[in-house]
Structure 1
Amino acid sequence: MSSGLDAADVLVVGAGVSGLACARDLLAAGVRVRVLEAGDAVGGRMRSDRVAGFVVDRGFQVFNSAYPQVRRRFDLKGLRLRPFTPGFIVHTPTGRLGFVDPVRRPRTLPELLSGRLAGRRDLAALALLSARDVLLPPARLKRRPDTTVRTAFADAGISEAFVESFFRPFVAGVFLEDELETSARVFHMVWRSMLRGTICLPAEGIGAVPRALAAGLPAGAVLLETPVAGLTADGVLTAEGREIPALAVVVATGPGAVPTLLPEVVLPPYRRVTTYYHTAPRSPLGEPTLLVDTRRRFLNTCVLSDVVPGYAPPGHALVATSVTGRDGPGREHELRSALAEAYGTGTDGWDLLTVRTIEDALPAMAPPQPLTRTTRVAPGRYVCGDHRATGSTQGALASGARAAREVLHDLRRDGMA
C-alpha cells in the first residue's frame, strides 16, 4: 500500500450512518479505513440544515432509542434527545382521537377503554399483538412466516374498521405506503422497538446522529467533497480522475449511486416522500405528538418545535407535514386546507419555509422480506445500506456492521489483516 492519504486497507464510499458504522468497526479491529463522501458533510439522508433560523431535517425523521445498534453505538445523553408523546393522534371525520401507550401513561387507560377509539375486542387484539411483540425473543419474531401487514392484522383478529381508523394511517406514515403491503415481519420488529423504546429527536436535529458517529473516527479518516466516479481493479477512481488504491471497497452510498458503482447489485424500489415545513406564530397543537389522518391526505404532521423548542426561533413554531410523491401545482394549497381541518385552526397566517423531497426515502419491503443480507458482491467488493437489511436507522447501522464483519473475515482469510 502507498503512504499518505492513500494509505488505506479499505475504502468506504459514502458517509451515511451505514458507511460510518462500517468504518468505525473496521478501525476498531485495526484495519486502516478511509471514507470518501461526495457531499460537504457526513450524514447522507440524515442531514439537518439551518434555514432562516429554523432547523430543517432533510425530510421528516425520528430517532428510536430502542434499536439495538443505537444502544450499542451512541451516547444517548450526549445527543440530548427530546421525546415525542408515546402515541399519536388520529384525525377522523368526527374529530381527533388520541392513542397513548397506557403502559407508559396509565392515566390514559380510562379514555382508551371508553370505546371512542375502538371496541373492547379490537383493543384486546391490539394488546395481545403488542404483548407478543414486546415479550417474545426477537429470534422468534424473525422466524414467523412472513405475510403482508394487512394479513397479519386479520390473523390477529383486528377488525377492518379498526385497521382503517388506526393502523392504516399509522402504517402509511411509518412505511410510506397506505396499502398495508409491507412485510409483517418488519412491522412486528418496528412495533416492538416503538413499544420498548422512545421515539425522539436530537436537540440539534437528526444530523447530530451521523456527526456523533463521525466524531469517533480519527482526523482525516473522512474525505468530504470527494465523489467517486467508479471502481477500479485496485480501488476507486474519483471524479477528479485520481485513483485511490485499497484491498477492499465498501459501497455505502445512497441507492442512486449504487447502480453506477456496482451495476450487478439489484436494488428494491424506493418510496419517495415530500415534507412541507411551515412556520406559524404559535403552535397549533401544544404537545409533541404525531398527528395522522384517516383520509390519508398526508402521511403525518407534527409541530417540531413542540418536540424540540430549538427547531424554531423564539416566538415561532415549525410544523412539518409529509406526503407521498413530489410537490406539484396546488398541492401545498390543498395541504393547508387539510392541516387547518386536522389542527382545528386557520393556516392563512402560516408561511411556507421550505419543501424537501427525498427521492429514495425508504426501500419497499414486501414479504418475504429478509431482515439482513450479505454485503459481499465480488472479491474485494461490498455494499451496505438499508436496502441490504430493513428501511430504518437500525437496518442501515446493522448492514454497516455486517459489511465490516465480512470484510474483516475475508481480509484475515487472505492473510491481509
Structure 2
Amino acid sequence: MLEPAHHADVVIVGAGAAGLSAAHRLTSAGVTTVVLEAAPYVGGRMSTEKVDGFRLDRIGQLLTTSYPELRRTPGLDSLVLRPFAPGLLVHSDGRHHRAAEPVPGRSARGALTAARALASAPRVPRAARATPGPASRPAPLGGPLDQARLGAALARLATTPVERLLARPELPAARALSARGLPSRTIDGFLRPLLSALLCDPGLTTSSRCADLALHAFARGRLCVAEGGAEVLPELLAASLPPGTVRTGVRATAVSTTSVTTAEHGEIACRAVLLATDARAAAQLLPGLRVPPFHELTVFHHTAPEPPLDGPALLLDADRAGPVAHTTVMSRVDPSRAPAGRVLVSSTVLGPPPDERTVRAHLSTLYGTPTDRWELLAVHHTREAVPAMPPPHDPRRPVRLLSGLYVCGDHRDTSTVQGALHSGRRAAHAVLADFGIAAPECAQESLPAAA
C-alpha cells in the first residue's frame, strides 16, 4: 500500500497501453516510477470479459504485424499475434469476395507484389453465396483497371516514409481517396469497410494523413489480434515492470507538477506527473485540455452450434445493408478465446446497440447461414470508444505541457494501439530530456506470430 508521504521520480496516472509503455521507458532509464490506476485492472479500454470460458473483448481494436511499436516496446517479447487468414472477405451482392492481405515486404518490389496480390485475389468459392447478385455486377474491388489502380496506390503507400505521409496536404479521407483517381466502387466496396474496421469511421471523415497511416500499416503487414484477448497486451506490460510499480484501485483527484493527490492515499510527491488516462479523464484533472470527438461502437459476441466460415477470416460488409460493420469467427482466429469445441463469433457495430434480432438477421445474410440457434454471450457498448481524427488532426500532438507535467494516450497520436504505445514513448522521452537523462534505445526485431 502507498503511504501518504510516498515519493517517486515520476507518477503516471493511468495504466493503459500508453502509460505502461512510458513506464517501461522510464524504469529502463533508472527513473523511479509509480503507475496509478483507478480501475481494479490494467488496460483501460483494452479489457476482456470472461463468460463461461469465453474471452470477450469490449472493443477489440485490430492490430497489424507491421506496427513498429509492438517490436520496440519492452515487455512484449512473449506477445503472440493471431493473424486473420486468408485475410479479408468482403460481402457484397450476396457473395463473398476474397481480398487476401499483402505479404509483408519492406522493398518497393515486395510492396508492389503484395498490393497486386491484394487487388487481384479471387473470389471465395463458398456456399455462403446465399442470394447471388447479378453476374454482371463488378466485385467490390472493381474491374481489372480499378484493381490495378488500387494496387498501385497501396504500393505507393507501403513504400512511402511515415514523415512524408504526415507532410501531405490534409483532407477528409473520402475526398483524398477520390482525388487520387480511385473509383467510387473501389472506395465504397473495399476501402470504406476496411477503414471502418481499422479506424471505426464508416463516413471516411478521418484526416487523410491518419487514413494513409492506417493503409500504410495494412499494406506492409497482416491484420491480427493478440492471443488470449486484448487485455493480454497491457497485462504483459504491467507484469514485466519492477514489482510494485503498478498500483490498481487508486484514483487520482488532483495533479500538479510535483504531486498527485489520491482519494485513497493522500498526496504522493514526485518530480513529474504524466497523465496517461483517456482524454475525458485527463481533462477532468486538467481543465482546459482538449477533448476530441469520439466514435461510438458496440461489440456483439455469439456462440454458434458450428463455425459459419471455414477459416479465420475477417468479414467486411461492403453493402452496409445492416448494422454490422465487420465480423469474424474469433474462435477460428484465436482458439484460446473459446472453450474446446465451442464457437465464438464476434461482430462490431459502429454506433449504439441496435436490436439484437436485427444484428442476428444481418449476420445470417453475411455468413449465408441461419442464426436462430445462435446464443448471445455479451453485448459491450462503449460510447467513447475511439477518438475521432477529423482534419485538421496532428498525430504528433505535444506530450509536454510544461516542465514536470506531461500527457499521453491515443488522443495525442493516432487512435490505434500503435498510437497509444508511440505516445507513451514520446512522453517518456520528453520526461527524460527534462531530467537530463539520455533515452535508452530498446528495440526487439520480431514478435512470434501463430500460424
Give the TM-score of the pair, scaled to structure 1: 0.92
- Partners of 2:251 and 2:423 lie apart in 1 by 22
The amino acid of 2:327's aligned partner reads T
Structure-to-structure mapping, 1:95-134, within 5 angstroms: 95-101=95-101, 103=113, 109=120, 111=122, 116-117=139-140, 118-134=142-158
Listed as ranges, the gaps of 5+ residues in structure 2 are 103-112, 124-134, 438-451
1:210-255: CA deviations, max 9, x gaps?
A: 1221122100011111111122564111122611111111110122
What is the distance in 2 between the residues matched to 1:125 and 1:253?
Answer: 41
* SS of equivalent to 1:273: strand
Distance (whole Å) between structure 1 residues aligned to residue 404 and residue 227 of structure 2: 39
In the other structure, the counterpart of 1:196 is: 220
Aligned to 2:447: none
Displacement of 1:327 in angstroms is: 2.0
1:364 deviates by 0.8
One-letter identity of the residue aligned with 1:310 = S
The question of whether the paired residues in 1 share the 8 Å contact of 2:26 and 2:33 is answered with yes
Structure 2: how far apart are the matches of 1:285 and 1:142? 38
Distance across 1 between alignment mates of 2:310 and 2:170 = 40
Question: Corresponding residue for 2:325?
Answer: 299
Is 1:270 aligned to residue 309 of structure 2?
Answer: no
Pick one of 392, 406, 411 that aligns with 1:382.
Answer: 406
Residues 363 and 387, structure 1, Cα contact 8 Å, conserved in 2: yes
Distance 1:295 1:108 in 2: 19
Q: Residues 227-284 of structure 1: CA distance to partner in whole angstroms, max 9, x if unpaired? A: 1112256411112261111111111012231121111211211111110101111111
1:147 maps to which of 171, 182, 191:
171
Change (3 A) 1:233 1:168: closer
1:143, 1:277 → 2: CA distance?
Answer: 40
8 Å contact from structure 2 (residues 4, 267) kept in 1? no
Corresponding position: 1:10 with 2:28: no
Counterpart of 1:186 in structure 2 is: 210
Q: What secondary structure is seen at the aligned counterpart in 2 of 1:78?
A: coil
Identify the residue that residue 311 of structure 2 maps to in structure 1: 287
Structure 1 residue aligned with 2:277: 253
Q: What amino acid sits opposite 1:321 in the alignment? A: S
- Deviation string 1:282-316 (CA, Å, 9 cap, x unpaired) is 11112111111123222211110010112111221
Contact 2:94 2:365 in 1 (8 A): no
Which has the higher mean CA deviation after the structures are superposed, 369-378 or 9-18?
A: 369-378
Q: Which residue in the other structure is 2:352 paired with?
A: 326
Sequence identity (%): 39
Please identify, of 244-253 and 71-80, the stretch whose mean Cα deviation from structure 2 is larger.
71-80
Distance apart, 1:359 and its partner CA: 2.4
The CA deviation at 1:106 is: 5.5
Distance 1:320 1:370 in 2: 32
Give, in whole Å, the separation in 1 of the partners of 2:243 and 2:143.
58
Instruction: Measure how far apart 1:337 and its partner are.
Output: 0.5
* Structure 1 residue 215 corresponds to structure 2 residue 239: yes
- Which stretches in structure 1 are left out of the alignment for 5+ residues? none
Question: Do 1:265 and 1:377's aligned partners in 2 also have CA atoms closer than 8 Å?
Answer: no
Offset of residue 86 of structure 1: 5.6
Select between 346-355 and 367-376 the one with higher mean Cα deviation: 367-376
1:40 equivalent in structure 2: 40
Shift of 1:75: 6.9
Aligned pairs for 1:79-94 within 5 A:
79-85=79-85, 87-94=87-94
Counterpart code for 1:123: Q
Q: What is the CA distance between 1:49 and its match in structure 2?
A: 2.4
Secondary structure class of the residue paired with 2:380: strand
Aligned pair count reads 409
Q: Secondary structure at the match of 1:253?
A: coil
For 2:272 and 2:203, the matched residues in 1 are separated by 41
Off by >6 Å, runs of 4+ in structure 1 = 2-5
Helix, strand or coil at the partner of 1:314: coil
Contact 1:62 1:206 in 2 (8 A): no
Deviates more, 1:181-190 or 1:4-13: 4-13
1:283 and 1:334 map into 2 onto residues whose CA distance is 20
Kindly provide the CA deviation profile for residues 78-97 of structure 1, in whole angstroms up to 9, marking residues without a partner as x: 22222112631121234222
Cα distance in structure 1, aligned partners of 2:371 and 2:151: 37
Q: Tell me the CA shift for residue 41 of structure 1.
A: 1.7
Q: Distance in 1 between matches of 2:352 and 2:89?
A: 25
Q: How far is 1:111 from its partner?
A: 2.3
Q: Is the 8 A contact 2:172 2:204 kept in 1?
A: yes
Query: Displacement of 1:7 after TM fit?
Result: 2.6
Pair 1:365–1:136, CA change in 2 (3 A): same
Do 1:11 and 1:34's aligned partners in 2 also have CA atoms closer than 8 Å? Answer: yes
